[in-house]
Chain A
Amino acid sequence: MAAVLEVSHVSKFFGGLAANSDVSFTVDEGIILGLIGPNGAGKTTLFNCITGFYPPSRGDVLFRGHRVNGLTPDKVCKLGMARTWQKVRPLAKMTVLDNVIVGALARTNKLSVASEIAMQQLRNVRMDRRAGHLAGGLPIGERKKLEVARVLATQPKLLLLDEVMGGLNPAESEEIIQLILEIKKRRITQIVIEHDMKAIMRISDRIVVLNSGEKLAEGLPREIGSNQQVIAAYLGEAFA
């Protein structure tokens, strides 16, 4: 299978602090890649480097063969790579439908077309009943789903989900898991940052582990689950 994304020796420094150092991995088309690591491991920074919010200090990001580091986030989005935010960012004073329309307008100039795409995406996340509500008034579970619907409306080929299950109850998390698996069926490649190990083990085809900004391990979920270094990074040396 062809690689959709190639992260090649990416480093990001903030002053003297290395938030990412020499991280490399590739993501094959259609898979779900789990990106895990303890707090402060540099997962979100890596997302920012991949999607154009930060230029990497060193290294390259290749998306479907094109070098995208140095491009602004809007251009990255137009190329077909889109991300959600760990801390959700609803367009609070716009309706749920209008939020998703904004996403859909990345691919069309026609409001009527965008509106149809948006409504379809809302149906996919089972939020069409909420179309006329203001996004700012939604509970957290629905804000997370709105975030996913909105980003899907930009019709990405690669989707980067930053802790979409964070702060959700088990039923809501399960709904998101099903959603991620549905997205996979639509052949959209996904990189998923998640803290819920059970969930990430279940949905991921491959897992990359970051620790202190470096790649600690990479492999199939069961390999990662029994990797001594990974257990040590999460629980301390005593448990390894």
Chain B
Amino acid sequence: MRPPTPRGLAIAPLLGICALVLALVAFPLVVDSPYALHIMILLFLTVVQGAAWNVVGGYAGQYSVGHSAYFGLGAYATIILLQYRHVAPWWGLWPAVFLAMAVAVIIGSITFRLRGPYFVLASIAVAEIFRLVALNWTSVTNGAEGILLSEIPPLQIGGRTITDFISKVPFYYAVLALAVLTVAANWAVKHSKLGYYLQAIREDQDAAHSLGIALPVYKNIALVISVFFTAWAGAFYGLYVGFIDPATVLTVEVSVQFVLICIIGGIGTIAGPILGAIVLVPLSEALRANLLSDLLFRLGVVSEGTPTGVFLKDNLAHAHALIYGILVVLVILFMPDGVLGFVRRLLARRRPPTQALSAGSEMKGSA
């Protein structure tokens, strides 16, 4: 039986987390391969995306498939302010993020009246409206051509001036900090009244309502927290890549990415988005870099010279969506609770049943 006190962080996992964060802080000092840093930056950004979506999708159970709207808004507002108004991003980010949050409240107040699949459809529709606006409002957004960032002004921190944004180190630390913050926010939400209320809403809206939970208020709080981090992620993405257009930040694929990270890792858990990112980022990089066809050649499944080999080499890199789709089907079939749930079940099976039961609830607390 669990003691009747709210769960706290045990010492051992806390030390583990500190060690991991320290290792990640030290990583650029040890590894100076730009490609490795690039992968890590993508990984952190993906963690932010997943953990941000997790607040509204995982805890509150409101499956938004429209987070590209807020991701794109954060990116566009920051980049437009920088490129056309010469507002340094460390200032421009704030109006961008607050704009996205304000928009989220308006959209949430309308769409949260809907439940289940109707809410999902509405969220897709809203994101599509944002994409079309960005595409057609050329005087502000430069339409389909997108915006190419010319340069980021030097940043002064204390006595140091950072001018070197080509090296990935400043981005590495900024995105790492954001990822840690987002995951910490997940933890804080989960272990608060808000977290209990969001989970109650996820489990049964009518029951939650009858227990004194103002549904629209709490759903909107969840969305605004989620959008805060989503807009940050969008802004960092735009600044890092140096180019945005509607096709890269405002499509439904971007929205689906937010959801996939959590589905694959484990929805409504703290470790889920991290695991999801660890699976998805290397996978999509491997596909992009043609590692998959190389592997097939190396294994001798097909040889590079044959027409099949040429076909695979040309097409596997573009098979992102296909592989994603297959992955999601496999996860839903075999790991309905994501990678995290799968791992937990494996661990539970290795212990005697009574112990496994209590260990299960402990892990529910710490994960």
**How distant is A95 from chain B, measured CB to nearest CB, in Å?**
7
B212 touching A78 by the CB < 8 A rule?
Answer: yes
Contacts of A150 in B (CB 8 A): 211
B215 touching A74 by the CB < 8 A rule?
Answer: yes
Give bound CA distance, A105 to B212, whole Å.
8
Q: Is A185 an interface residue (CB 8 A)?
A: no
Contacts of B206 in A (CB 8 A): 53, 85, 89
Selected from A78, A82, A85, A102, the residue in CB contact (under 8 A) with B200 is A102
Give bound CA distance, A148 to B1, whole Å.
21
Q: Is A111 an interface residue (CB 8 A)?
A: yes
A73 touching B210 by the CB < 8 A rule?
Answer: yes
Contact residues, A102-158 vs B (CB, 8 A): 102-103, 105-106, 109, 111-112, 114-116, 118-119, 128-129, 131-132, 150-151, 154
A72 touching B5 by the CB < 8 A rule?
Answer: no
**How distant is A139 from chain B, measured CB to nearest CB, in Å?**
16
Contacts of A51 in B (CB 8 A): 210
**How distant is A144 from chain B, measured CB to nearest CB, in Å?**
14
**How distant is B205 from chain A, measured CB to nearest CB, in Å?**
10
Given A73-B210, A74-B214, A77-B210, are A105 and B196 also a contact pair (CB < 8 Å)?
yes
Contacts of A94 in B (CB 8 A): 199-200, 203
B209 touching A97 by the CB < 8 A rule?
Answer: no
Give bound CA distance, A72 to B208, whole Å.
12
Given A74-B213, A74-B215, are A93 and B203 also a contact pair (CB < 8 Å)?
yes
Contacts of B6 in A (CB 8 A): 111-112, 115
Q: Is B110 an interface residue (CB 8 A)?
A: no
**How distant is A102 from chain B, measured CB to nearest CB, in Å?**
5
Contacts of B208 in A (CB 8 A): 91, 102
Question: How many of A's residues come within 8 Å of B, CB to CB?
Answer: 40
A73 touching B196 by the CB < 8 A rule?
Answer: no
Contacts of A3 in B (CB 8 A): none
A85 touching B193 by the CB < 8 A rule?
Answer: no
Give bound CA distance, A102 to B198, whole Å.
10
Q: Is B192 an interface residue (CB 8 A)?
A: yes
B2 touching A131 by the CB < 8 A rule?
Answer: yes
B203 touching A132 by the CB < 8 A rule?
Answer: no
The chain B residue with its CB closest to the CB of A136 is B203
The chain B residue with its CB closest to the CB of A89 is B207
Contact with A along B82-94 (1 / 0, CB 8 A): 0000000000000
| Consensus secondary structure, chain B interface | helix
Contacts of A85 in B (CB 8 A): 206-207, 210
Please tell me the size bucket of the interface on B.
20 to 34
Q: Is B361 an interface residue (CB 8 A)?
A: yes
B4 touching A131 by the CB < 8 A rule?
Answer: yes
Contacts of B196 in A (CB 8 A): 98, 101-102, 105, 111, 114
Selected from B1, B199, B200, B212, the residue in CB contact (under 8 A) with A132 is B1
The chain B residue with its CB closest to the CB of A75 is B214
Q: Is B197 an interface residue (CB 8 A)?
A: yes
**How distant is B338 from chain A, measured CB to nearest CB, in Å?**
14
Q: Is A43 an interface residue (CB 8 A)?
A: no
Q: Is B358 an interface residue (CB 8 A)?
A: yes
Give bound CA distance, A119 to B4, whole Å.
6
The chain A residue with its CB closest to the CB of B4 is A119
B358 touching A116 by the CB < 8 A rule?
Answer: no
Contacts of B2 in A (CB 8 A): 95, 97, 131-132
Give bound CA distance, A131 to B212, whole Å.
22
Given A102-B211, A116-B4, are A111 and B192 also a contact pair (CB < 8 Å)?
yes
Q: Is A235 an interface residue (CB 8 A)?
A: no
A112 touching B5 by the CB < 8 A rule?
Answer: yes
28 contacts between A and B (CB under 8 A): A53-B209, A73-B210, A74-B211, A74-B212, A74-B215, A77-B210, A77-B212, A85-B207, A85-B210, A91-B204, A93-B199, A94-B203, A97-B2, A97-B4, A102-B199, A102-B211, A102-B213, A103-B211, A105-B212, A106-B212, A112-B5, A115-B4, A116-B4, A128-B1, A129-B1, A132-B358, A132-B361, A150-B211
Q: Which residues of A contact B (CB under 8 A)?
A: 51, 53, 72-75, 77-78, 82-83, 85, 89-95, 97-98, 101-103, 105-106, 109, 111-112, 114-116, 118-119, 128-129, 131-132, 150-151, 154
Q: Which residues of B contact A (CB under 8 A)?
A: 1-2, 4-6, 191-193, 196-197, 199-200, 202-204, 206-215, 358, 361, 364
Known: A77-B210, A85-B207, A91-B203. 5 other contacts (CB 8 A): A92-B203, A98-B199, A102-B197, A102-B213, A106-B212
